[in-house]
Amino acid sequence: MNSRPTSPEPVRHRDHGTWLVEFTRRILVVCPRCGGRALVVPVPGLPPRKYFSELLFQPRRLSCSRCGAVAGWTAGQRGAGLVGAVAGGTEDPFFRRPLWLQTRCAGRILWACDEEHVDALAAYVGARLRERRASPTMGMFARLPAWMKSAGHRDEVLAGLSALRALARRSAPADRSDAAHERGDRPRHHGSLYFRGGPY
């Protein structure tokens, strides 16, 4: 009988090519009226999506349960195609409101769209072994900045993600992070179009 203690298997993360756009189904933002937490989601009653990239073209609704603010967004049009939003940066891609989930971390700004996004980032950052099972060019994890992927920042980033998770449960204007303000760091529009046959 072997009495030697066995070391636990390192936490493993398998990257199946998750795109950032998949976390735009539900986005927590700073309300334009009261400064509390508002929610951006696709308008209800839309037909089922064929491609997850359609999330960047679907009509959106911003609503705040605190002050009652409501706003709508629809994709622009170029000829027969719809001009979609571009995900990324510290503002939501539709209304250009600062994301509610932002905090200072390792001298930078750590941000997420919602709790599901926070959990996905925490699973990746906390893993000691990372396996890529998809294209390295389009997936969210492959595109994370080096400081977030660094083992030297792991504990700090995990603490920042824990702070974002706690922030997601708060909604008052006074709860807003001092990091949650406009920076103008949204990605430049790449002119993506959506035609009836699918996104291009």
pLDDT 10s digits, 37-65: 999 999 999 888 888 889 999 999 999 99
Is 37 part of any domain?
yes
CA pair distance 32, 12, nearest whole angstrom: 40
pLDDT at site 16: 67
pTM of the model: 0.84
Is 55 part of any domain?
yes
Is 193 part of any domain?
no
Is 156 part of any domain?
yes
CA pair distance 12, 124, nearest whole angstrom: 8
Is residue 178 packed enough to be buried (19+ CB in 10 Å), middle (13-18) or exposed (0-12)?
exposed
pLDDT at site 184: 65
CA pair distance 134, 124, nearest whole angstrom: 15
How many domains does the structure of the chain reveal?
1
Is 103 part of any domain?
yes
Q: Which residue segment(s) compose the domain that 99 sits in? A: 12-176
Q: Phi/psi at 75 (nearest 5 deg)? A: -65, 145
Is 45 part of any domain?
yes
Is 20 part of any domain?
yes
pLDDT at site 144: 92
CA pair distance 37, 183, nearest whole angstrom: 18
Is 6 part of any domain?
no
Query: Which residues, given as ranges, of the chain have pLDDT below 50?
Result: 1, 190-191, 193-197, 199-200
pLDDT at site 83: 87
pLDDT at site 78: 84
